[in-house]
Chains A and B, each alone.
Chain A
Amino acid sequence: MSCMKRLCHETRSHDRLRRTLAVCLRLSRRLLLKMSEERDAAALSGSAQTEGEEDLFVSAMESPEAARLSAEDISPSSNGPKAEPMLLDDDPDDLFAEATEEVSLDSPERQPILSDGPSPVITPVTPVMISSRADVFDRSPDQDEDEEENRDTFDIQISVSDPEKVGDGMNAYMVYKVLTKTSLSIFSRDEVCVKRRFSDFLGLHSKLASKYMHMGYIVPPAPEKSIVGMTKVKVGKEDLSSVEFVEKRRSALERYLLRTVKHPALLKDPDVLQFLESSELPRAVSTQALSGAGILRMVNKAADAVNKMTIKMNESDAWFEEKQQQFENLDVQLRKLHASVESLVCHRKELSVNTASFAKSAAMLGNSEDHTALSRALSQLAEVEEKIDQLHQDQACADFYLISELLGDYVRLITAVKGVFDQRMKTWAKCQDAQVMLQRKREAEAKLQHANKPDKLQQAKDEIREWEGKVQQGERDFEQISKNIRREVGRFEKDRVKDFRVVIIKYLESLVHTQQQMIKYWEAFLPEAKAIA
């Protein structure tokens, strides 16, 4: 990844850079494709699966050049697994040319795809030809607007509970019960209960992200992995910290699902429905960090980071610039707030410990006191302090689960929002690239006009037409994603305000409860103190 960064500094033209990157990506992808084919072919059975894996690769790719290039990877395999695709390419430009030809023939990778898994469900978002792609893009916002109106009748409850440990040793994992209660018609039953493990959630998220992020939808991020936490659980330590870890994770998974189904488009997504309803779910191996897909993700992330640095977008719409700045600020503020709240949780736990030890010490003092009434009062004081210590502990829990986790969730959500803005930038870049290509094709055609090669001329004209189509498509995409983002951001902000308000109220109520308990305890102690004679 660092060599990519170096490339960035050394290359003058951004276009050239991106193309060079694209070459590197392509090479690494080919290698990984081979690797994972070999590995996963062993694990999974059936050609359907291998195709699925490739689909996954493709769907995991977000950069447009990559998509274009990967077409080349895909097409050979769709004709049958090709033994040895060319690993070494001499001329980047030629490569480019090759790729563009393939693209026109093969289109599956350009659609939001229903990814791997022997899912028989055919949905309106099925892979179709390019021609109907416009439909897909045009249809969803209207549908979504309907959903916006129906939000008041939003009725779905999801709970994640009963973590159970399955297996032993390092292969052990936790299984959670996911219970969905709903009156919505898209679900087959009123109440469904399934068992899911953590990697299933991650798998769901990666599918949703690959399908919707490039359209500008804000896909809620999944809870983070934690090697340390899980290892403790696997090893079987029944101590407090691993219990806390499991509880923290369970709560995070629940919030994740609730946030996901709150999004009107995601709620109807077949993957989500499958996740919530079907009793058996294919194991999402691609979510493992060291899998082929995992490494690919890392490569992509690096490419994205470099892309961000190199794409200079001419922002014609002030709204976007403003919003991006706002989100940057919000990000900083939320992180700071999150840090403060975490410190609060820590200190409150400390307070609880110190109160407990003081209570013990006061009890001992009471024992050693020889004046009976004072002795009794001191023992009572010790008891009160013990109860208060428990109160502090509970309050710390509330601090944590209500506020701190919410803030953490929002910090991650904002990253997703920023990602969506980046997608828009990429779409714009794609559009620009298409325009550049078109220009070039036109120039080439002009040249051929003079050279008098009729067959090549025809080809050139065809190419021009094709690229004109692409430019139009690119512009339409850009408009669409801009529209989507505006809507999503509006929804996000509304939700944010609501979320925060609800949580703050709950938190204040918990504080009220704590204080009322304290009043009770101290009022019970007061007569004891007065009784000292």
Chain B
Amino acid sequence: MTSISEDSDKEKVRSVSVDLNNDASLVIDIPDALCERDKVKFTVHTKTTLSSFQKPEFSVPRQHEEFIWLHDTIVETEEYAGLIIPPAPPKPDFEGPREKMHKLGEGESSMTKEEYAKMKQELEAEYLAVFKKTVQVHEVFLQRLSSHPIFRKDRNFQIFLEYDQDLSVRRKNAKEMFGGFFKNMVKSADEVLISGVKEVDEFFEQEKTFLLDYSSKIKDASAKAEKMTRSHKNVADDYNHISGALNSTAADNNTAFKKTISVCVLQKLEDRVASDQELKLTELLRYYTRDIQAAKDLLYRRARALADNENSNKALDKARLKGKDIAQAEENQKQCLQKFDKLSESGKKELTSFKARRVVAFRKNLIEMTELEIKHAKNSVSLLQGSIEILNSN
């Protein structure tokens, strides 16, 4: 029902994640998306100079479930255990606009025509905002993968980008969902155990402390930012009602009409400020909450490998004592050690680049948010002063 085409430039500006590589050999974006009832169909557009792809430029339609499939397969790949896996995009959430639409439908008889039209406009704007947000989030996910030297070569990723037939990703059935849920629970229990494991490497020790603390703080900040932007939206809504009420008294005299203009304008501005704030700050915080979680997952995997390594050492010692299965134990131990070393090495690289990326992203977004706030405030001031002049001269 709703389709959206956007300037890819604008979208890049709005992205919360930053591509540090600036590599043009594989460029992905989502220029178009269609929304039908609950399902959103994204058009994934790829431009590439790599030979591993069949064509230099192509587009495929994809749905949210297929993104999730891609994410899960990458997570489950052993090889990538030492890498921070970009967090999966959240499911498109049209709950807000849908509720509003419901309210609109119910209240249709009791509202005046102007009120109805206005609410409908509001509803459409909100719908559009949610839509843009979800497109952006999916796009960022793909861009993270494409900018990573290892992920971009992933076979599944290439299939995702290229295969123009339906991937027929079947939804996880109940058993798998339950299995996944159970796995998560085990993981968190394990996390607790593993945080007790003695850490040899100072770098990782520091990272662990930092990430654990930071993750809880950023989750809190993200929640508070959401509340703040919601209040701001409420204030904007109120201005909407006020201007509606003023409209009906405007028939009385001239000044009331001018009142209406200025208040309407105010309302639009408040709305814009609220949604820009929302997009920049809240999204930034939300995204990094998820990203930090991914980093924590990496640490977890490494700690698991460390535990495995220690276990294998113990097993080797025991085998040596017992005098049997020594070769097997040695082999096991060597593997564990290898795995652990690999994880540690790539983990260190990943975490360092993660920090750099995070700092740059924060910087970009904070700057953009501040500049937008200033721009809107200046607009408000000039509009308000204009209205004051009109009223004064009347």
**In whole angstroms, what is the CA distance A369 to B216 when docked?**
12
CB distance B381 to A361 under 8 Å?
no
CB distance A343 to B385 under 8 Å?
no
Q: A511: which B residues are within 8 A, CB to CB?
A: 266, 380, 384
Minimal Cβ-Cβ distance residue in A for B220:
A361
Q: B374: which A residues are within 8 A, CB to CB?
A: 519, 522-523, 526
A63 interface residue, CB < 8 Å from B? Answer: no
Minimal Cβ-Cβ distance residue in A for B269:
A515
CB distance B373 to A518 under 8 Å?
yes
Q: In whole Å, how far is A502's beta carbon from the nearest beta carbon of chain B?
A: 9
Q: Which of A361-392 contact B (CB under 8 A)?
A: 361-362, 364-365, 367-371, 373-374, 377-378, 381
CB distance B224 to A361 under 8 Å?
yes
CB distance A347 to B234 under 8 Å?
yes
CB distance A512 to B388 under 8 Å?
yes
Minimal Cβ-Cβ distance residue in A for B239:
A344
**In whole angstroms, what is the CA distance A146 to B213 when docked?**
78
Indicate whether A358 sits within 8 Å of B391 (C-beta atoms), given known contacts A336-B245, A512-B384, A523-B374.
no
A190 interface residue, CB < 8 Å from B? Answer: no
Contact residue among A364, A504, A518, A532 (Cβ-Cβ distance under 8 Å from B255): A504
A101 interface residue, CB < 8 Å from B? Answer: no
**In whole angstroms, what is the CA distance A351 to B239 when docked?**
14
CB distance B370 to A526 under 8 Å?
yes
Q: In whole Å, how far is B209's beta carbon from the nearest beta carbon of chain A?
A: 10
- Of B98-106, B326-334, B359-367, the one contacting chain A is B359-367
A497 interface residue, CB < 8 Å from B? Answer: yes
**In whole angstroms, what is the CA distance A532 to B394 when docked?**
49
- Of B36-44, B126-134, B143-151, B246-254, the one contacting chain A is B246-254
**In whole angstroms, what is the CA distance A234 to B79 when docked?**
74
**In whole angstroms, what is the CA distance A343 to B391 when docked?**
26
CB distance A344 to B238 under 8 Å?
yes
Q: Which of A340-361 contact B (CB under 8 A)?
A: 340-341, 343-344, 347-348, 350-351, 354-355, 357-358, 360-361
- Count of A residues near B, CB < 8 Å? 52
A529 interface residue, CB < 8 Å from B? Answer: yes
CB distance B245 to A370 under 8 Å?
no
A-B contact count (CB 8 A): 148
CB distance A519 to B381 under 8 Å?
yes
CB distance B231 to A505 under 8 Å?
no
Per-residue interface assignment for chain B, residues 354 to 388, with 1 indicating a CB less than 8 Å from any chain A CB and 0 otherwise:
01000100110011001101100110110011011
CB distance B242 to A344 under 8 Å?
yes
Q: A368: which B residues are within 8 A, CB to CB?
A: 210, 213-214, 217
Contact residue among A357, A381, A504, A518 (Cβ-Cβ distance under 8 Å from B227): A357
CB distance B241 to A340 under 8 Å?
yes
**In whole angstroms, what is the CA distance A174 to B10 when docked?**
61
Contact residue among A358, A509, A522 (Cβ-Cβ distance under 8 Å from B377): A522
B228 interface residue, CB < 8 Å from A? Answer: yes
Q: B259: which A residues are within 8 A, CB to CB?
A: 500, 504
Q: A95: which B residues are within 8 A, CB to CB?
A: none
CB distance A333 to B221 under 8 Å?
no
Minimal Cβ-Cβ distance residue in B for A364:
B217
Per-residue interface assignment for chain A, residues 488 to 518, with 1 indicating a CB less than 8 Å from any chain B CB and 0 otherwise:
0000000001001100110011011001101
Indicate whether A343 sits within 8 Å of B241 (C-beta atoms), given known contacts A337-B249, A354-B228, A357-B224.
yes
**In whole angstroms, what is the CA distance A369 to B237 when docked?**
35
Q: B231: which A residues are within 8 A, CB to CB?
A: 347, 350-351, 354-355
Q: In whole Å, how far is B13's beta carbon from the nearest beta carbon of chain A?
A: 16
Interface size class of B (residues with CB under 8 A): 35 or more
CB distance A330 to B249 under 8 Å?
yes
B392 interface residue, CB < 8 Å from A? Answer: yes
Q: A509: which B residues are within 8 A, CB to CB?
A: 388
A525 interface residue, CB < 8 Å from B? Answer: yes
Q: B238: which A residues are within 8 A, CB to CB?
A: 340-341, 343-344, 347
A530 interface residue, CB < 8 Å from B? Answer: yes
**In whole angstroms, what is the CA distance A369 to B381 when docked?**
35
B235 interface residue, CB < 8 Å from A? Answer: yes
B232 interface residue, CB < 8 Å from A? Answer: yes
CB distance A358 to B235 under 8 Å?
no
**In whole angstroms, what is the CA distance A529 to B284 when docked?**
15
Q: B371: which A residues are within 8 A, CB to CB?
A: 526
CB distance A532 to B366 under 8 Å?
yes
CB distance A522 to B370 under 8 Å?
yes
Q: B366: which A residues are within 8 A, CB to CB?
A: 377, 381, 529, 532
**In whole angstroms, what is the CA distance A505 to B392 when docked?**
8
Indicate whether A365 sits within 8 Å of B245 (C-beta atoms), given known contacts A358-B225, A377-B366.
no
Per-residue interface assignment for chain B, residues 326 to 355, with 1 indicating a CB less than 8 Å from any chain A CB and 0 otherwise:
000000000000000000000000000001
Minimal Cβ-Cβ distance residue in A for B388:
A508
**In whole angstroms, what is the CA distance A330 to B239 when docked?**
20
CB distance B394 to A501 under 8 Å?
yes
Q: B355: which A residues are within 8 A, CB to CB?
A: 371
Minimal Cβ-Cβ distance residue in A for B365:
A529
Q: A501: which B residues are within 8 A, CB to CB?
A: 255, 391, 394
**In whole angstroms, what is the CA distance A362 to B227 when docked?**
13
Indicate whether A374 sits within 8 Å of B235 (C-beta atoms), given known contacts A368-B214, A512-B381, A515-B377.
no
Among A337, A358, A529, chain B packs the most CB atoms within 10 A around the CB of A358
**In whole angstroms, what is the CA distance A371 to B357 when docked?**
12
**In whole angstroms, what is the CA distance A500 to B263 when docked?**
14
Q: In whole Å, how far is B16's beta carbon from the nearest beta carbon of chain A?
A: 15
CB distance A341 to B242 under 8 Å?
yes
**In whole angstroms, what is the CA distance A340 to B227 when docked?**
21
**In whole angstroms, what is the CA distance A497 to B394 when docked?**
11
Q: B253: which A residues are within 8 A, CB to CB?
A: 497
Q: In whole Å, how far is A195's beta carbon from the nearest beta carbon of chain B?
A: 38
Q: A344: which B residues are within 8 A, CB to CB?
A: 235, 238-239, 242
Q: In whole Å, how far is A279's beta carbon from the nearest beta carbon of chain B?
A: 42
Contact residue among B220, B234, B377 (Cβ-Cβ distance under 8 Å from A364): B220
Indicate whether A529 sits within 8 Å of B370 (C-beta atoms), given known contacts A347-B235, A365-B217, A508-B262.
yes
CB distance B245 to A337 under 8 Å?
yes
Minimal Cβ-Cβ distance residue in A for B391:
A505
Contact residue among A348, A374, A512 (Cβ-Cβ distance under 8 Å from B363): A374
Contact residue among B217, B255, B367, B378 (Cβ-Cβ distance under 8 Å from A529): B367
CB distance B249 to A516 under 8 Å?
no
Q: B232: which A residues are within 8 A, CB to CB?
A: 351
Indicate whether A340 sits within 8 Å of B391 (C-beta atoms), given known contacts A361-B220, A530-B367.
no
Q: B60: which A residues are within 8 A, CB to CB?
A: none
Q: A525: which B residues are within 8 A, CB to CB?
A: 370
Minimal Cβ-Cβ distance residue in A for B380:
A515
B70 interface residue, CB < 8 Å from A? Answer: no
Among B210, B218, B223, B245, chain A packs the most CB atoms within 10 A around the CB of B245
Q: In whole Å, how far is A467's beta carbon from the nearest beta carbon of chain B?
A: 44
**In whole angstroms, what is the CA distance A508 to B214 when docked?**
42
Q: A355: which B residues are within 8 A, CB to CB?
A: 228, 231
Top 7 nearest A-B pairs by Cβ distance?
A: A351-B231, A344-B238, A532-B363, A358-B224, A529-B366, A347-B234, A337-B245
Chain A to chain B contacts (Cβ below 8 Å), 6 pairs: A337-B245, A343-B238, A354-B231, A357-B224, A361-B223, A378-B362
Binding site for A on B (CB under 8 A): 210, 213-214, 217-218, 220-221, 223-225, 227-228, 230-232, 234-235, 237-239, 241-242, 245-246, 248-249, 252-253, 255-256, 259, 262, 266, 355, 359, 362-363, 366-367, 370-371, 373-374, 377-378, 380-381, 384-385, 387-388, 391-392, 394
Known contacts A347-B238, A354-B224, A508-B384, then 20 further A-B pairs from the complex at CB < 8 Å, ordered by chain A residue: A330-B249, A336-B245, A340-B242, A343-B241, A357-B227, A358-B227, A361-B217, A361-B223, A373-B359, A374-B362, A374-B363, A381-B366, A508-B262, A509-B388, A515-B378, A522-B373, A522-B377, A526-B370, A529-B370, A532-B363
